[in-house]
Structure 1
Amino acid sequence: MILEIDMGNTRLKWRVRYQQATVAQSAIGVEESLGLLVDKIEPYRNAISAVSVASVVGEPLEQRLADWSIGHLDVLPVFARSSAICGLVRNGYHNPQALGVDRWLGIVAAYRLVSAACIVVSCGTAVTVDLIARNGKHMGGFIAPGLNLMLDSLTSGTRQIKLDRTVTVLDLSPAAATSEAVYSACAAMLTGLVDNGVRQLRRLDQNSEFQMVFTGGDAGRLLSFYPQARLVPDLVLDGLACVLDYPQQLE
């Protein structure tokens, strides 16, 4: 069995996989005690022979995870790193290692899934939009604040704006109340970012049909604007599974 971990800016997502089947999965806060994992993975503890990790959190938290994995599972984890190529997928950054590993794994997994030109939209703490041509070439991408960062920056930088944080449905219509106006503006900015990605991919990879792959905690809130998109909640973890076929992608 393999324990796969996605250490994002906010959440640590994990799953235990046996061959192609997921037998357990959940998430905790990335700064929460790793002891919260113990009870959930205890039934599989003796069967876990590998731990693979995608991390954007930096060395201190990565070392904490490594110490936990060695101490609790007696397994030295391997950390995925971005590289120049994985299968048919080619990294579009001038310095391939500078591309965030979560984006790289999402790109690899999305192209493996659709085998066509695609736009990968990840809606988490940050929103990233990456463009992949039909031949697997990464054409670059965009990084913007995620929805909650947008809301936080507005409320912390103003005195009178109060927001209803229970809003779950985004709308592009002009609003007649402050909270709704903020959410509509955020939705307009996020869809504008995605729509720009669509225009750029059409310019860069002309005459190609493309697909849209969405992932991340807030991805579901944008799906109403893009009903043709495929929602893949575990895209980064799927990318980890992909690169296991190419051992040079792991350190």
Structure 2
Amino acid sequence: MLLAIDAGNTNVVFALFDGRAMKGRWRIATDPRRTGDQYAVWLLQLLQIQGFSREAINRIIISTVVPRALHNLEMLAQNYFGIEPLIAGQAEADYGIDIDVDEPRSLGADRAVNAVAAHAKYAGDLIVIDFGTATTFDVVDFNGAYKGGIIAPGINLSLDALVGNTAKLPRIAIEVPKGTSVIGRNTEDQMLIGVFWGYVAMMEGLIARIRAEIGRPAKIIATGGLAVLFNEATDIFDAVDADLTLEGLAILAERADK
């Protein structure tokens, strides 16, 4: 079985695959100081609780946008599973796609892996939106080449900035506003309308501009933790694929075995 590890800015997600079928998924807050031993105490207990043996894992692949976290995840793989892990984008786990931008090496591993998975699963030109700590828009052409994209502050970052830089505004939860009015009658409603519908308008506006620039029809693939929430408020997505990054890691590991 394959253990796929996706280390993002907010969470590290571990997923267990049998071929392309995901059998389990667990997440822990990202902390570059967390040692391989600490990861092992947490992960091995979860594997045991769900009936998976350590010995069943014979491959590990890691993708990270937090360079300081990589060493400790490698120590986890080597010391507790006896496996030299694949690193997404390196050696046998090279992305295998044309990264057609000015500085290809600057592309985050998560975005490249998303491009690999999206092209493998969906036909034609694609715009992949990943709702994470930042919200990224990535353009993948019909040949699977990565053509560039956009990085925008994630909606929680936007809310943190609003609350953190004002004296009286309260902390609110991100959710779909109740009702259809965009004229708030109290402070909390006004904040939620501004943050949520403002974000939807930004997203729809950017997608319209990207589509016009591509000049061909393009499918919109949404992934990341808040994709499902935004799907309730707009009909712009062609697919919501919560596990796109993890599936991309499984694809890279599968290719490396050939």
Which TM-score band (shorter chain)?
A: 0.7 to 0.9
Aligned to 2:86: 78
Q: Aligned residues: percent identity?
A: 25
Deviations 1:192-220 (A, max 9, x none): 332233223322332x3221111111112
In the superposition, the TM-score normalised over structure 1's length comes to 0.87
User: What letter matches 2:119 in structure 1?
Assistant: Y
* Distance of 1:238 and 1:30 partners within structure 2: 20
Structure 1 counterpart of 2:188, from 179, 186, 200? 179
Report matched runs for 1:41-60 at 5 Å: 41-42=47-48, 43-59=52-68
In the superposition, the TM-score normalised over structure 2's length comes to 0.85
* Distance of 2:95 and 2:78 partners within structure 1: 28
Bigger Cα displacement from structure 2, 32-41 vs 147-156: 32-41
Within the alignment, does 1:188 sit opposite 2:197 as a pair? yes
Question: CA contact under 8 A between 1:170 and 1:221: conserved in structure 2?
Answer: no
Distance 1:90-1:240 versus aligned 2 partners, 3 A rule? same
Question: CA contact under 8 A between 1:130 and 1:197: conserved in structure 2?
Answer: no
Number of residue pairs the alignment of both structures matches: 243
Aligned to 1:233: 242
SS of residue matched to 2:148: strand
**Which runs of no fewer than 5 residues in structure 1 stay unpaired?**
none
Distance 1:134-1:192 versus aligned 2 partners, 3 A rule? farther
Note the C-alpha offset of 1:116.
Answer: 1.3
* Distance of 1:214 and 1:187 partners within structure 2: 16
Moved over 6 A (4+): none
Note the C-alpha offset of 1:71.
Answer: 1.3
Aligned to 1:199: 208
Aligned to 2:128: 120
* Distance of 2:113 and 2:154 partners within structure 1: 19
RMSD of aligned alpha carbons = 2.3
Distance 1:105-1:139 versus aligned 2 partners, 3 A rule? same
Within the alignment, does 1:25 sit opposite 2:25 as a pair? yes
SS of residue matched to 1:23: strand
* Distance of 1:137 and 1:193 partners within structure 2: 25
Note the C-alpha offset of 1:82.
Answer: 7.8
* Distance of 2:42 and 2:251 partners within structure 1: 27
Aligned to 2:4: 4
Question: CA contact under 8 A between 2:127 and 2:220: conserved in structure 1?
Answer: yes
SS of residue matched to 1:37: helix
* Distance of 1:236 and 1:15 partners within structure 2: 11
Aligned to 1:38: 44
Bigger Cα displacement from structure 2, 222-231 vs 64-73: 222-231
Question: CA contact under 8 A between 2:95 and 2:112: conserved in structure 1?
Answer: no
